[in-house]
Every structure is written in C-alpha cells, then in structure tokens.
A and B are shown apart, each in its own frame.
Chain A
C-alpha cells in the first residue's frame, strides 16, 4: 500500500484550491494539490466577466463600498445567504483584488477623461476623474447597484488562474495532475485524507493529511446542457456526501443562464441583449415582449430563462439534433458594433457554429450555469460534523450565495474563500485537534474498499452500460429538475434517478486495458453523480416554495414562514437509494438585513414571524447611531469582524476613504 503524508491535502487545482494551498504554505505548512487536469486548465479559466470588489475607482462605481456590495449579495441570494459570511466576503474582496494585482493580474485600468458606453441600448458618455487614472476599473453586472466588477479585458478568469498558478509554482507547491480522489479516509468524526487513483497508471495511493480541503467546483455536468467545463461533475463534493457524516447544503439551488449556444453550451454574454439584441422563436417572432412587456429581453437571468423555456414548451422552439433552441438575433446592431464591442461573441459564433452573427441568427437556449449548493461548512470552511474536512469555492456551501448567485461573485468567492479558509486550516493544523492520529488498518480498509469497488466494475462479464445511465440522468435532470419545477415532475425524476442508481450498482466495464481507462472513469463517476443528482432532485421536491433560482410552478411564492432554512442532504448508508434531507433554520433575529422585497422579480412572499420584529429593531439601532459612521452602524447591527482571521481584519482604502 502506497502512502503519502502531508500537512494539508487540497483536492482541486482551480482558483479556490490554489489560493488555499498558497495560504497554508505561507503559514509554514506543507501543502499538496491533487488535480484532475493541469491546474491552469481548471474551469476557473472560463470566468470571463469579472470579479466583484467594491473598490469604487471608476466613475460608475462612485460611492460603492462594502455595505452596498453586502446588500446586493443578500438580496441576490433571496435571503438564503449567511449574512456574516457575506460580510466577511465583501470586506475581503477588495484585498483579494489588490493581492492579485501585486501577483501580476493585468486588471483593466481607469483611463482619465471621457469615453462612450452603451447602457440600456442608449449611448452615454462616462467621464473618469484624474485622481482615479491608472487604478483598477470595473464594469456593470446584473443585480448590482454600482459598477463593481473588476476585469481583465475578456479574460478575467484566465489571468487570475495564471497568476495564482504561477504563485503556486513560486511557492514550490506540488500540483499532482491527473489524480482523482475516490474516497475520503475518515473514522466517522475526523477526516484523515483520501484514497486517490492515478488517472494515467490506475494506481491507488492513500494521501494522509492533518487537514483535507475539497475545492473541486460545481456539479453542472449532471445536466445535459451546461456551460461548465466537462470536469465539473460534482464528484468532489460526492466524496463528502459518501462519508455519511458530512452533509451537503442547498443542493437544489442551481442557476441557469439564458443564452448559451447550442451544441457546445458556451455562453454568449448578456451584453448581446444589453446592447439591443432580441430573442426570436421558430416563426422568427420576437416573443419576449408578449411575456414581459416592460423589461422584454432585459428582465433578470432567471426570468428570461423561465420565459424561454415556457415558450419552447408551447412548441415554439426550433428543433435540432441537439434538442430545441431559440434564436438570438443581434443582426440589427450592425457590423461595426459587433466587431468592436461583441468580438468575443463573434469569435464563438465563427469557431463553434461556423456562422457570422452580423448576418445570421445565433441558436441559443437556457443552460445550467452555476451550483449554489455544496459541502456544508461553517464560516471557517470546516465541516461541522467531520473535523479536518474543509471546503471552499463553488464546491462549498458556507453560505455566500443562498439560492441565487450574482454575476462576478463566484470568482471573487474562490479567491476570498481560499485566503480566509487557508488561515483557519493553518490554525486548525497548529491546534491539538490538528494532530494526525490515524491507524494504518483504517487506511488499509479504505484503500481495499476502493480497490474492490473498481475490481467489481472490471470483473462483471455482463451488466449495465455506464454511458447509457449517464445520458439518461442528464436528460432527467434537464427535463424535470430544471428551470421550472413541479411536484409531479420532481417525483417522477426522483423515482427514475433511484432506479438509475440501483442499476449503476451493476455496471460492467468492457475495457480491461491497464493504465488509463476512460470507461472505468465514467463508471465510477456516474455512481457518484447519480447520488448528487438525487440530492438536487429530492431537495427540490421537498422544498415547496420558490426562492432564488429554485422555482416551483406549483408553489410560486417565496415562503419565509416555512422555508427560511438551509437544506442539508446526507447519505447515511451506502445501501440507501435516497439521501436523507434535514433543515437548518436561518435566524432572522441575527440578520443585518431582514427579509423583504428583492427590488426585482415578483413582489410575492410570505413573511417569517420574526421579520417584523427584526425590521423594527434594525430601524431602532440605525436611529441610535450617527448617520455618518457606517462602520459603527454596521457593527451595532451584526458584529462579524472578530470572525475574520486577524491579518484580514480592517478597512479597505478608497479614493474617498483614505486610511491614515
């Protein structure tokens, strides 16, 4: 049995995992990163839009600060977020952007003077101040009051990932590529590491560590159509689920983006519609004004996605080999505008569709985009029930996004969580609880269990076909656990997924060649993915309300009275074919921003009994404070700063808020 020891084992080499590893290394601990792919090929690279941080440098971001970012994020989450975590996040995001700037990210900068921009299809002139010249600029994103999204031209995720990838190398942290964790090694209360399969040689190794951190991203690929990279299969968070001890949070909260191109599922930016592009159906008819006479194509992401789906259900979609789609028509914008402002869209159309959007319509449809759910952790990133197991980034539910994530908050979360969680991990490793005390027979048992599972898959002469099961799962999730959900469909989805899970226990792998074996990989992954899919479907079935991205046609109201709570899914026994679902109350009395109207979407919710009291209390506290001291007011409403690691406490400097 091959065994490797390290202080901190990080599973996942995207932004969150890399930043966490760099953080613990800087604290003097050894770190080791396992990754399915070379780190710089992780899905973080695909984040093109940007990273939210309230620097307030640009004219359109003037007056921005942590308070505004906090409110936007909480409203966006439909009050599902942990508000203390949101506060920790918004206070650290500016520091994270500045750290990345020092590490070489070529953030786009403010240029003094006038420039033209398009807002709501109107040309406007923006005038930047002299004193902001050369500082990091920001662009507009949905659901934000200020232009807050820092970016690098069209390649924000790429430049962030490369800067962090380079820092990882500079810090001498090994990234073991093409390594896949199959199971966590644990004793029911303490996590000790993982059993890991080498994807090239097929060899199994036990990695033992004081702390194990999962940073493996989302689970978009349980859906047939997703904007996610093909490695975002949720198998990383399944490691936690399969311990039976560490639950997953809010798995039913899944975000869809309205306009990804068909076939590849690659996004076309919201800017297409922002600048005046329209959506058309099979008849060439512009249908959005029929549903949303006021906002038309520019209603929020979830609303547009729902309307498009509704329209296709009426038979107005355009059939294709890859399923139905609608048309995005930007031909009205003209060649000059498209080639200058939407060049990326033009490239995608040329490379992946072989069309020219100046003259051709773009085939699009709503596509799975982001996973709000993940491994439930406390604000330190640690599982409350399995000590020594940490999670950060999209794989975690600590819980920053609640039931809906704002654009630009996801890449920001990856680095912020990496920074903060690294400190808590280091504290843990330095404490008595961090000592390694694992018995070698326990390690052997886990390695042998995994070897037996693989041998079983390889040993059957006849059995189920993994690809067939996977394709069926993807279709069920897309058709019945998608944008619109109803009790009947969810019930039938859960029933079919259960059946697929049972069938997946008798998969036969035909390829017996030694070493890399993609068929075997599909087989063991689909077993994990089906469990994740069941957590999503069962959570969605039981949640009889609509909140954020979770929309029940049979329960269209947000119901704070009965459902202001976080869903917890656990897989208690390996033989089970359904997760057990529990709930955790979200305390209205502790909220800085009590539940209310989001400011967009339907004004339609049932109040929590504590809401009225908390609203009055907040008003009283605010009234007692001096109006011009936002920091003291915030502290009086909800203290959070003591939760932050010492080195990241403290204010952020702005042009308008200089530090002494």
Chain B
C-alpha cells in the first residue's frame, strides 16, 4: 500500500455548484428567430467540461440547442466558441475553471449556422484553395522504393507547425480579420510557413509571395498578438508571422536572391 489513498482528486474534492450558463441563441434559418441570451441551470459534476454541460442541457432541457463537437478530446477543432468572451475549445474547458455564471457565444468572423455552431470548415477550405496549401511535389514518387530521407530534427520542426487544428480561434481573436474579410489569418500564414519549411514543397519564395505578399496576407498583421494568446495548441504564431514577413519582404525587394 502506498499512502496515495489520500491523494486528492477532483472527484472527491468538488462541491456541487449550480451553474448558470447563458447561451447566445439565434437560428438564421428561422425567420421568427431573434438573437437573445438564454440561461440554463446545470448542477455541476466532478470533471465536468463544457462538452458534458452542453450535452446535458440539450438532452434534458432544450433539444433544439445547436453546437458542434466531434472528438471531444481537444484535437479536432470543432468546438471553438467564445467562453466568457474569449475564444477557446469548449470540449477541454472544465467548468471548475469558470465561475458559476458562464456566457457562451458563437465564434465571430465565421458564418453562423445556429446558436453556437459556425461554419469554420467552409472558410478553411476556401483559405486552403486560395493559398494552394498543399505540398507541390516535383513529380510522381516511386512508392515501391526507399523514401526520401529527412533529418529527424526537420521532421520534428515541421510537425511542430503542423499541429494547427484549424479551430478558428486565431481569427476570432484577430484585429485585422475584423477589418479585412479576406485576411488569411494566423492559420493561413502558419500553414504557408509550414509548407515553406518542408523540402518536399518545391515552391520558391517568389511563389509564396504571390500568395501572401499583401495586406490580406502577411503584411495585414498588426502584431496585436491575439492569435497567439488564444491558440489552444500554443503555436508560436507570432514568430512564424514575423519570420514570414521578413522572408516575403526579401522576396519582394531582392527577387533574384
């Protein structure tokens, strides 16, 4: 026996609170619907996340409530919303980290589907098409043969940038996105930085410049750092944007280099 029987876990620790969760509701498909806040009361349970709380509300109080969850594990990026005004992933937000009154609103910037559900997927696809955000190979690879080698550290660096889950929090927290609908956001710039780092993508800086060398791209960022503050994956977005800005400036000024 270890002495760990006394180990404190939230299961034992938490008292029962009655949460008052106010949701900004609006169904654009319904001509009679008007945006309004509706408050639900939920008894808090140990280790309760907003995923659990919202499903509890839908299952037992209001079956019409709209929201999006898929993985409920913080990896698919479906459930970004404004939690007390701040963009975040609802599935991995413990209610114990919030006060008794919680306000939830849909992520701004994206097309509203209804209540807390927004169409991030449509925007992300559009962004990928605009930035041609895929590996541009130099031709077909013979997959029966040994793969091309890559330095282990480089693979790790690429993975570090690849961790973006396209949740949209960075755009919801972005000042530029408020003013420029066409801004590609930290998510888009990070993706280009990731592709640029990858030797399998054969494009030159001049070609990347054509995609992001304007105010809807890397020169639109005002360095307010909102994206970095809210990124659920703690990506170093600001460094990537600053780096890309330098590289793109160079590509513009010294095209031959």
Residues of A in contact with B (beta carbons under 8 Å apart): 37-43, 45-46, 95-99, 101-104, 106-111, 133-137, 152-153, 155, 158-159, 162-163, 166-167, 169-170, 175, 177-178, 200-202, 229-231, 262-264, 266, 280, 283-285, 318, 320-322, 329, 331-332, 348, 351-355, 359-361, 363, 467, 471, 509-511, 513-519, 522, 650-655, 659
Residue B257 is within 8 A (CB to CB) of chain A in the complex: no
Known A-B contacts A134-B151, A659-B145; the reply to A45 vs B71 at CB < 8 A is: yes
The residues of B that contact A137 with a CB separation of less than 8 Å are 152
Contact of A177 among B4, B10, B122, B158 (CB under 8 A): B122
Residue B59 is within 8 A (CB to CB) of chain A in the complex: yes
Contact of A43 among B66, B70, B144 (CB under 8 A): B70
Residue B103 is within 8 A (CB to CB) of chain A in the complex: no
Contact of A153 among B134, B147, B156 (CB under 8 A): B156
Residue B236 is within 8 A (CB to CB) of chain A in the complex: no
Distance of B227 from chain A, by nearest CB (Å): 19
Q: How far, in whole Å, are A468 and B14 apart by their CA atoms in the complex?
A: 28
What 7 A-B pairs come out closest when comparing CB atoms?
A: A515-B29, A38-B121, A134-B149, A519-B63, A166-B134, A104-B135, A106-B158
Greatest chain A CB density within 10 A among B30, B58, B119, B143 is at: B143
Distance of A79 from chain B, by nearest CB (Å): 30
* Docked-complex contact A166 and B133, CB < 8 angstroms: yes
The residues of B that contact A659 with a CB separation of less than 8 Å are 144-145
* Docked-complex contact B137 and A102, CB < 8 angstroms: yes
Q: Which among B41-49, B178-186, B210-218, B243-251 touches the partner chain?
A: B41-49
Known A-B contacts A201-B29, A263-B47, A263-B48; the reply to A652 vs B159 at CB < 8 A is: no
* Docked-complex contact B147 and A169, CB < 8 angstroms: no
Q: How far, in whole Å, are A72 and B175 apart by their CA atoms in the complex?
A: 54
* Docked-complex contact B144 and A650, CB < 8 angstroms: yes
Distance of A655 from chain B, by nearest CB (Å): 7
Distance of A288 from chain B, by nearest CB (Å): 15
Q: How far, in whole Å, are A104 and B75 apart by their CA atoms in the complex?
A: 20
Q: How far, in whole Å, are A353 and B12 apart by their CA atoms in the complex?
A: 12
Q: How far, in whole Å, are A606 and B70 apart by their CA atoms in the complex?
A: 43
Contact of A104 among B48, B66, B134 (CB under 8 A): B134
* Docked-complex contact A230 and B149, CB < 8 angstroms: no
Q: How far, in whole Å, are A102 and B144 apart by their CA atoms in the complex?
A: 12
* Docked-complex contact A329 and B69, CB < 8 angstroms: no
* Docked-complex contact B162 and A162, CB < 8 angstroms: yes
* Docked-complex contact A109 and B150, CB < 8 angstroms: yes
* Docked-complex contact B141 and A98, CB < 8 angstroms: yes
Q: How far, in whole Å, are A326 and B46 apart by their CA atoms in the complex?
A: 16
Residue B240 is within 8 A (CB to CB) of chain A in the complex: no
The residues of B that contact A153 with a CB separation of less than 8 Å are 156, 159
* Docked-complex contact A361 and B121, CB < 8 angstroms: no
* Docked-complex contact B152 and A41, CB < 8 angstroms: no
Known A-B contacts A320-B46, A513-B29; the reply to A155 vs B63 at CB < 8 A is: no
Q: How far, in whole Å, are A359 and B13 apart by their CA atoms in the complex?
A: 15
Q: How far, in whole Å, are A202 and B30 apart by their CA atoms in the complex?
A: 12
Q: Which residue of B lies closest to A177 (CB)?
A: B121
Residue B204 is within 8 A (CB to CB) of chain A in the complex: no
Q: Which residue of B lies closest to A331 (CB)?
A: B4
* Docked-complex contact B155 and A108, CB < 8 angstroms: yes
The residues of A that contact B8 with a CB separation of less than 8 Å are 360
* Contact sample, A vs B, 7 pairs, CB 8 Å cutoff: A45-B75, A162-B162, A230-B69, A331-B2, A331-B7, A467-B60, A518-B65
The residues of B that contact A111 with a CB separation of less than 8 Å are 152
Q: Which of B145-187 contact A (CB under 8 A)?
A: 145-152, 155-156, 158-159, 162-163, 165-166
* Docked-complex contact B135 and A166, CB < 8 angstroms: yes
The residues of B that contact A519 with a CB separation of less than 8 Å are 63-64
Q: How far, in whole Å, are A509 and B120 apart by their CA atoms in the complex?
A: 28
Known A-B contacts A102-B141, A103-B135, A329-B4; the reply to A134 vs B150 at CB < 8 A is: yes
Q: Which residue of B lies closest to A97 (CB)?
A: B147
* Docked-complex contact B92 and A352, CB < 8 angstroms: yes
Contact of B51 among A45, A167, A264 (CB under 8 A): A264
* Docked-complex contact A515 and B133, CB < 8 angstroms: no
Q: How far, in whole Å, are A37 and B120 apart by their CA atoms in the complex?
A: 10
Distance of A346 from chain B, by nearest CB (Å): 13
Q: How far, in whole Å, are A467 and B132 apart by their CA atoms in the complex?
A: 43
* Docked-complex contact A353 and B27, CB < 8 angstroms: no
Known A-B contacts A37-B70, A361-B4; the reply to A106 vs B97 at CB < 8 A is: no
* Docked-complex contact A104 and B198, CB < 8 angstroms: yes
* Docked-complex contact A135 and B147, CB < 8 angstroms: yes
Q: How far, in whole Å, are A280 and B113 apart by their CA atoms in the complex?
A: 46
Q: How far, in whole Å, are A322 and B48 apart by their CA atoms in the complex?
A: 10
Contact of A229 among B1, B49, B76, B145 (CB under 8 A): B76
* Docked-complex contact A513 and B33, CB < 8 angstroms: yes
* Docked-complex contact A352 and B151, CB < 8 angstroms: no
Q: How far, in whole Å, are A402 and B113 apart by their CA atoms in the complex?
A: 41
Known A-B contacts A102-B200, A515-B27, A515-B114; the reply to A352 vs B121 at CB < 8 A is: no
Distance of B77 from chain A, by nearest CB (Å): 6
Q: Which residue of A lies closest to B149 (CB)?
A: A134
Distance of B122 from chain A, by nearest CB (Å): 7
Q: Which residue of B lies closest to A517 (CB)?
A: B64
Q: Which residue of A lies closest to B148 (CB)?
A: A101
* Docked-complex contact A99 and B45, CB < 8 angstroms: no
